[in-house]
Amino acid sequence: MDLRSSLREGLIAGIINLFIILLGLTTLTGEMVQKWFDLESATLGAWLLLSAVAVWGGGRAARPATEKSQAGAILAGLVTGATHGLLIGISLFI
């Protein structure tokens, strides 16, 4: 497993999600999902968008590691997710 590629993918997914948040696309997506499914809150749509980008980043990191071992793929996805979560958490805390 290449730890650097997992960290890089986590940073890429985190930066993409950060721009999605800053551009207000989470609000737009949340309101669209809220209207489509007659929900009380727009939070579900925002979470779906952010989760989709995070899963995409984890999948990109785990793809090369699946050829070597399943445990390596899981670890690559976890490292990517931790990097992504740390970047978003620190950015939103500031």
Cα 33 off chain centre by: 19
* DSSP labels, 37-78: HT-S-SHHHHHHHHHHHHHHHHHHHHHHHTTT-HHHHHHHHH
| pLDDT digits 0-9 by tens, 34-81 | 999 999 999 999 999 999 999 998 888 888 877 788 888 888 889 999
Query: b/e per residue, 59-83, with b = 16+ CB within 10 A?
Result: bbbbeebeeeeeebbebbbebbbeb
Residue type, position 34, single letter: Q
Q: How confident is the model at residue 1 (pLDDT cuts 50, 70, 90)?
A: low
Q: What is the pTM of this model?
A: 0.84
